[in-house]
Structure 1
Amino acid sequence: MSSVLITGASRGIGRAIAVELAGRGHRVIATARRPETLAGLPVDRRLRLDVTDQESVDRAVRDAGVVDVLVSNAGETVRAPLESVPLSEVERLFRLNTLGALRVAQAVLPAMRERGAGRLVFVSSIQGRLVLPLIGPYAASKWALEALAETLAIETGHFGVKVSVVQPGAVSSGGGERARVFLGEHDPYTPLHRALPALRGELVTPEEVAATVADTIERPDPPLRVPAGAPAERVLLARKEAPENEPFLAAEIDW
């Protein structure tokens, strides 16, 4: 079985991945910014890891021991129109969702390359291939993440490192409900915000995403991109078949 380091394992998808992999017999190193939130997880190690802090990442990777698989899951989202979203929030999402994922990948890759084997699994989103209104900053960070992941697949494949991107749609993890909302009083985009639940589509559970991640890790030759759940498969197929020269939205907007 593999030794798997998971970022963002305190709740939601990350916590479900830790439980799923431990249940399958893998050695799991669960990490979070606040390690006390990892209490109760049936894992081998619980470590502090802040993906935006180089010293924190280096210490956690050192303390983890051998890492066969990195599951890069830490991330957040916001709700705001691009017209008025604070640029500091966009920068924060990129530091966390994109650069944070690369920072941890950089920390584990040298040892994987030297061993001639390793797995990088990035938890992305269908919004790494399409966009939803008012969630544009998050989508941009995931599009960038997928560019980095695909580049890593090309650069490190020769060294025996396999890279996969898992793409769930809407997940009943509470992440959307916890998202910061930047809408002013009488904001003209408020009706669009009310329409978001319908636009996000059918929910899947964190456990369904976790099973997809675990299956991907255990596949001898995993694909680069792996939709998580039937709703994600449907909307990504629709996006693939849609014209590239016009904006794509999986559902009609009711303003």
Structure 2
Amino acid sequence: MSSVLITGASKGIGRAIALELSRRGHRVVATARRPETLADLPVDQRLRLDVTDQETVDQAVKDAGDVDVLISNAGETVRAPLESVPLAEVERLFQLNTLGALRVAQGVLPAMRARGAGRLIFVSSVQGRLVLPMIGPYGASKWALEALAETLAIETRHFGVKVSVVQPGAVSSGGGERAGVFLKENDPYGPLYEQLPLLRGESVTPEEVAAAVAATVEHPEPPLRVPVGAPAERALKARKEASENEPFLMTKIDW
């Protein structure tokens, strides 16, 4: 069984991953900005880790001991048109979703490289390969995350480190409902925002994502990209087949 460190384990996908891997007998180190939110998880360790705070990352990596697998899950999203989204919100998402993931990877990689073995699993999204209007800042942070992950896969495979990117579509984790919405009164983009549920399509559960992550942890030769669920597979296939010379949307909208 593997020793697994999970970021963002207090709710949603991260919590489901911690429960699934613990059920399968892995040694699970669950982390969150507020470790008290992890109290009811049946895991081996519960540590404070804020992916945007280098000091907490360094301390958590030290306290976790040997880490065979990093599951980089911490992340957030917002809802806003790019014309008016506060740039501070865009910067915050990149710090959390992208640079935060790299910061923790940098923390565990030296020991993995020295041992000649390890796994980095990044929880991304189909929005790491395609875009949705009104969720552009999140999508951009995931496109950047996938570029970092693919680069890491090339740079670290010589040292026995395997890298995977897990790509669900919409997930019924509550993350979208918790997202900050930045729309003015009578915002001209309001009608487009109202169509967002149609654009996001059918969802998968956090447990389905957790099962895909656990299968990736246990796969002897995991693929680089792991779509989760039929909706994600359809969306990514359609994106691959679509023209690169025009914007791509899975669902046509009256806009």
Taking structure 2 as the reference length, what is the TM-score of the superposition? 0.99
Identify the residue that residue 130 of structure 2 maps to in structure 1: 130
Structure 1 position 139 matched with structure 2 position 139: yes
Letter in 1 for 2:14: G
Confirm or deny: 8 A CA contact 1:17 1:211 kept in the other structure.
yes
**5+ long unaligned stretches in structure 2:** none
Letter in 2 for 1:78: V
Structure 1 position 212 matched with structure 2 position 209: no
Aligned length: 255
Letter in 2 for 1:12: G
**5+ long unaligned stretches in structure 1:** none
> What is the CA-CA distance between 1:134 and the residue it aligns to?
0.4
Letter in 2 for 1:156: T
Identify the residue that residue 159 of structure 1 maps to in structure 2: 159
- Give identity over the alignment, percent: 84
Structure 1 position 225 matched with structure 2 position 225: yes
Identify the residue that residue 55 of structure 2 maps to in structure 1: 55
What pairs up with 1:39-188 in 2 under 5 angstroms?
A: 39-188=39-188
For 2:254 and 2:61, the matched residues in 1 are separated by 47
Three-state SS of the structure 1 residue aligned to 2:71 is: strand
Identify the residue that residue 25 of structure 1 maps to in structure 2: 25
Moved more, 97-106 or 229-238: 229-238
Please list the CA deviations of residues 58-77 of structure 1 after superposition, one character each: whole Å capped at 9, or x if unmatched. Answer: 00000001100000000000
> What is the CA-CA distance between 1:254 and the residue it aligns to?
3.3
For 1:254 and 1:198, the matched residues in 2 are separated by 11
For 1:201 and 1:52, the matched residues in 2 are separated by 31
For 1:13 and 1:46, the matched residues in 2 are separated by 16
Please list the CA deviations of residues 135-154 of structure 1 after superposition, one character each: whole Å capped at 9, or x if unmatched. Answer: 00000000000000000000
For 1:207 and 1:68, the matched residues in 2 are separated by 22
Three-state SS of the structure 1 residue aligned to 2:30 is: strand
Identify the residue that residue 6 of structure 2 maps to in structure 1: 6
Confirm or deny: 8 A CA contact 1:12 1:206 kept in the other structure.
yes
Three-state SS of the structure 2 residue aligned to 1:165 is: strand
> What is the CA-CA distance between 1:230 and the residue it aligns to?
1.0
For 1:142 and 1:83, the matched residues in 2 are separated by 19
Letter in 1 for 2:125: S
Three-state SS of the structure 1 residue aligned to 2:245 is: coil
Identify the residue that residue 240 of structure 2 maps to in structure 1: 240
Three-state SS of the structure 1 residue aligned to 2:195 is: helix
Letter in 1 for 2:15: R
Letter in 2 for 1:7: T
Letter in 1 for 2:26: H
Letter in 2 for 1:178: R
For 1:148 and 1:176, the matched residues in 2 are separated by 24
